[in-house]
């Protein structure tokens, strides 16, 4: 109930903001046409607005949401993925992947040692496969001995 | 005759050594994807798109690879239905009804073999149907003007929830979100910037491949973590296969009927593979009636839904290839592949890219044969894979998905976007907002807006052109029916499907 209502309100806001912005697009170079850059977005904003009103009025039953601890866990997973993305270029593929896969395996219930081994194993296999067989170069980072 | 010529040309494309290899690799990967827990066909194909893309494969090879994956996933989905009573994906639900009881009776190997044969027949007949129907439909679709296309795109969204869809408003919301994301970037025909906020990376719009991988793969990872589903499924052992010719002949008529029904429901908008297997199963049950032992492990109860769902999967390629309008999640993902290869789907595909289309169709025949050969002797290998615990599998899958995204443009920003879409996908799935219409909206958005523009330019701003021809009116009627009918028929159908599943459980327990 409450989940759908909140979503409905957010979507309604989105629809209004989106439509308002579309209505204020500058007129395209060459003058207005029957269908300008704003026509289609305005149609979408109206449809979305009406549907979100329906959600607010007639919400479905809620799915159980995870507890606070689990939400923290999920946020942690997203952070790990973001750290992986940030590390990839400067530090290199193999360390970043070992960390990401290792931590994810561990968080999903594997013991630390097998988790770490899965991490480093998959990192090396994917790196070798991509760099030497498929010739797609993944960042070597700190391990690049040629001083790249 | 013309068609046959094209088909032979297609085989010439598909039978090159490279493409044969891609078909075989795709078939193996597809079966893996179908069999492994937590990797649906749409998900699997989505993860492989950026890889095929960044490897710089030629268009026909990438498409052959991915359609083989698609076909393979349909084969793989049945394995866990039969052995563990856990459907790999929704269409495989009906296979549980008789497949699992067969496995309990110690006939798991037979059930797997029969379902492989039925799948083969279903795919084969549906591919033949595709060969006959697609060129005809493509020719017919040449009559479509922009107004008809606009109506057709609306129809695609309206029927996407399927006849069994629960809340149509949520489908509409999802479609709107997808279309809205598609409007981000520089407007193609006027050059106006829309919703870019002067961020350079947004000028080209949001890449739908990143969105697909994020929405499907990353949100799946989050769901696995939330459900603590890290442990593997219980180990299963297979008995020795004892299948006689008589057994195969016994399920032939069932498979043929199932194939025809499945193909029809695959082609029709809004029906899809789930309904295909459901109709095939229930009709077969009614037809054979008391002579069978349906629900207690009748081989025909395995053959009917499997033939039905494989036929429906291939049937769903018909509207995707000829009209550019996919009817299911996985075909939407295949469409994403086409669009990212810069190939415009639609009726012109059959004239402009004849080599490609017929190559892919020929590859479906070949891939299907490979799958049958692969699945009967090697099923034991795939069965072993079922017991790989997701706690090791999902992180590696996430890795492969991220590497694919990273390889497209070597930018960390794409990965951040992927993570963002993953979070969005998780929240939306929790609220039962379907993800497929979002993808479809992102894919079809530009085309839909273009056809609206063309139509209104032709009519000089008169909106009534959108329902100006008989054809357009017909499409609108179907679209509206697609939106409204689920409210009338949906509850009945859903109750019946649930009742079926219930009954089988009570027999099993």
Across the interface, whether the CB atoms of A55 and B403 are under 8 A apart is answered no
Task: Give the separation between CA A23 and CA B442, rounded to whole angstroms.
Answer: 21
**Count of structural domains, chain B:** 1
Query: Which residues, in sequence order, are CB contacts of B53 under 8 Å at separation 6+?
Result: B62, B209, B340, B341, B404, B408
The helix or strand, by DSSP H or E, that contains position B165, with its residue range, turns out to be: none
Does any CB of chain B come closer than 8 Å to the CB of residue A117? no
CB contact under 8 A, B173 and A51: yes
Q: How many CA atoms lie within 13 A of B22 on its CB side?
A: 27
Cβ count near B10 (within 10 Å): 24
Cβ B226–A66 below 8 Å, yes or no? yes
Tell me if chain B has a CB within 8 Å of the CB of A130.
Answer: yes
- pLDDT of residue B507 exceeding 60, the answer is no
Please tell me the predicted confidence (pLDDT) of residue A74: 92
Contact B116, B372 (CB under 8 A): yes
Put simply, whether B481 touches A (Cβ < 8 Å) is no
Tokens of B34: 């179908």
Res B263 pLDDT > 50 = yes
B422 touches chain A (CB under 8 A): yes
Contact A84 B402 (CB under 8 A): yes
Do the Cβ atoms of B183 and B450 come closer than 8 Å? Answer: no
Average pLDDT over residues B40-50: 81
* pLDDT score for A52: 93
Contacts B400 to A, Cβ<8 Å: 126
Q: How large a percentage of chain B has pLDDT more than 70?
A: 92
pLDDT, one tens digit per residue, over B110-131 is: 888 888 999 999 999 999 999 9
**Bridge partners, residue B193, by sequence:** B186
Tokens of B58: 């030629």
- List Cβ neighbours of B479 (8 Å cut-off, separation of 6 or more): B151, B154, B155, B158, B159
Closest CA to B435 of B425, B448, B443: B425
Q: Give the C-alpha separation, B177 to B40, whole Å.
A: 23
| Spatial contact of B406 and A88, defined as CB atoms under 8 Å apart | yes
The secondary structure element, H or E, covering residue B160 is: none
Nearest C-alpha of chain A: how many angstroms from B409? 11
Partner B, chain A 5-34, Cβ-Cβ below 8 Å: 7, 11, 15, 18, 21-22, 25-26, 28-30, 33-34
Percent of chain B with pLDDT over 90: 13
Q: Which of B194, B395, B453 sits opposite A41 (nearest CB)?
A: B194
User: Chain A contact for B196, CB < 8 A?
Assistant: no
What is the mean predicted confidence (pLDDT) over B225-242?
71
B353: helix, strand or coil: coil
- Cβ–Cβ under 8 Å, residues B475 and B152: yes
Report the SS3 class of residue B435: coil
Straight-line distance from the first to the last Cα atom of chain A, in angstroms, rounded to the nearest whole number? 56
Q: How far apart are the first and last CA of chain B?
A: 55
pLDDT computed for residue A148 by the predictor: 42
Q: With CB atoms and an 8 Å threshold, state whether A35 touches B453.
A: yes
Q: Please report the DSSP string for B191-253 in residue order.
A: --EES-TT-GGGTT---HHHHHHIIIIIHHHHHHHHTTTTSPPPP--PPPP---HHHHHHHHH
Q: Which residues of A touch B461 (CB under 8 A)?
A: 34
User: Are A82 and B416 in contact (CB < 8 Å)?
Assistant: yes
- B184 contact A CB<8A: no
Q: State both tokens at B353.
A: 């890219």
Q: What is the rounded radius of gyration, in angstroms, for the C-alpha atoms of chain A?
A: 24
**Residues B450, B398: Cα–Cα separation, whole Å:** 36
The reply to whether residue B230 touches residue A110, judged by beta carbons under 8 angstroms, is: yes
Cβ neighbours of residue B316 closer than 8 Å, sequence gap 6 or more: B266, B267, B272, B273, B326, B327, B328, B330, B331
Paired tokens of B339: 């669009």
Q: What band does B198 get if pLDDT is binned at 50, 70 and 90? A: confident
- ipTM (interface pTM): 0.91
Q: Which range has the top average pLDDT, A59-63, A144-148, B144-148, B334-338? A: B144-148
Closest residue in A to B167 (Cα) is A60
- Measured CA to CA in angstroms, residue B316 lies from B160, B298, B411 at distances of 12, 28, 35
Residue-range definition of the domain harbouring residue B382: 2-508
Provide the residue-wise pLDDT of chain A in tens; the chain has 148 residues: 788 899 999 999 999 999 999 888 887 776 667 778 888 999 999 999 999 999 999 888 877 788 888 899 999 999 999 999 999 988 889 999 999 999 999 988 889 999 999 999 999 999 888 888 777 778 877 766 554 4
Mean pLDDT value across residues B297-315: 88
Q: Which residue in the set A36, A97, A108 is minimally distant from B394, CB to CB?
A: A108
């Amino acid at each position: 109930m409450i989940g759908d209502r909140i979503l409905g309100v957010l979507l309604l806001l989105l629809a209004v903001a989106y439509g308002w912005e579309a209505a204020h697009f500058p007129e395209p170079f060459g003058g207005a046409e029957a269908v300008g850059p704003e026509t289609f977005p305005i149609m979408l904003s109206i449809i979305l607005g009406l549907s979100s009103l329906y959600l607010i009025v007639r919400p479905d039953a809620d799915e159980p949401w995870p507890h606070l601890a689990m939400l923290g866990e999920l946020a942690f997973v997203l952070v790990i993925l973001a750290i992986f993305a940030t590390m990839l270029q400067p530090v290199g593929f193999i360390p970043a992947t070992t960390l990401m896969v290792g931590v994810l395996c561990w968080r999903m219930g594997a013991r630390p040692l097998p988790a770490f081994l899965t991490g480093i194993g998959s990192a090396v296999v994917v790196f070798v496969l991509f760099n030497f067989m498929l010739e797609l170069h993944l960042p070597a980072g700190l391990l690049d001995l040629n001083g790249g | 005759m013309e068609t046959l010529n094209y088909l032979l040309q297609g085989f010439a494309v598909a039978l090159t050594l490279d493409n044969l290899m891609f078909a075989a690799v795709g078939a193996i990967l597809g079966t893996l994807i179908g069999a492994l827990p937590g990797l649906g066909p749409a998900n699997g194909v989505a993860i492989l798109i950026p890889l095929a893309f960044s490897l710089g494969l030629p268009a026909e090879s990438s498409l052959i690879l991915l359609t083989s994956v698609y076909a393979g996933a349909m084969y793989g989905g049945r394995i866990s239905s039969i052995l563990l009573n856990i459907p790999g994906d929704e269409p495989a639900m009906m296979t549980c009804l008789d497949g699992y009881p067969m496995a309990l009776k110690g006939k798991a190997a037979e059930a797997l073999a029969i379902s492989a044969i039925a799948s083969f027949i279903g795919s084969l007949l549906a591919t033949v149907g595709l060969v006959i129907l697609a060129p005809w439909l493509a020719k017919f679709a040449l009559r479509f003007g922009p107004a008809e296309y606009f109506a057709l795109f609306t129809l695609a969204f309206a029927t996407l929830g399927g006849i069994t869809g629960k809340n149509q408003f949520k489908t509409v919301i999802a479609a709107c979100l997808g279309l809205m994301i598609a409007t981000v970037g520089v407007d193609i025909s006027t050059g106006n910037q829309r919703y870019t906020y002067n961020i350079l990376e947004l000028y080209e719009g949001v890449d739908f491949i990143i969105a697909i991988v994020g929405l499907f793969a990353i949100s799946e990872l989050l769901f696995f973590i939330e459900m603590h589903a890290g442990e593997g499924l219980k180990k299963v052992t297979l008995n020795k296969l004892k299948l006689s010719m008589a057994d195969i002949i016994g399920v032939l008529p069932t498979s043929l009927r199932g194939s025809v029904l499945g193909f029809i429901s695959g082609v029709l908008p809004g029906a899809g593979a789930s309904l295909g297997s459901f109709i095939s199963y229930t009709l077969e049950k009614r037809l054979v009636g008391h002579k069978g032992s349906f629900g207690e492990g009748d081989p025909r109860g395995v053959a009917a839904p499997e033939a039905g769902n494989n036929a429906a999967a291939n049937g769903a390629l018909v509207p995707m290839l000829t009209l550019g309008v996919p009817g299911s999640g996985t075909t939407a993902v295949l469409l994403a592949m086409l669009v990212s290869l810069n190939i415009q789907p639609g009726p012109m595909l059959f004239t402009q890219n004849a080599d490609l289309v017929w190559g892919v169709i020929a590859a479906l025949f070949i891939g299907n044969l490979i799958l049958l050969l692969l699945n009967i002797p090697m099923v034991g290998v795939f069965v072993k894979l079922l017991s790989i615990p997701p706690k090791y599998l999902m992180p590696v899958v996430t890795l492969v998905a991220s590497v694919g995204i990273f390889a497209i443009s070597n930018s960390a920003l794409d990965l951040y976007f992927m993570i963002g879409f993953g979070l969005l996908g998780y929240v939306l799935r929790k609220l039962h907002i379907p993800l497929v219409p979002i993808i479809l909206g992102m894919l079809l958005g530009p085309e839909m807006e273009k056809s609206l523009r063309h139509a209104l330019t032709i009519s000089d701003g008169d909106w009534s052109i959108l329902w100006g021809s008989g054809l357009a009116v017909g499409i609108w009627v179907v679209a509206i029916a697609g939106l409204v009918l689920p409210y009338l028929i949906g509850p009945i159908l859903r109750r019946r499907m649930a009742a079926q599943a219930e009954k089988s459980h009570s027999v099993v327990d």
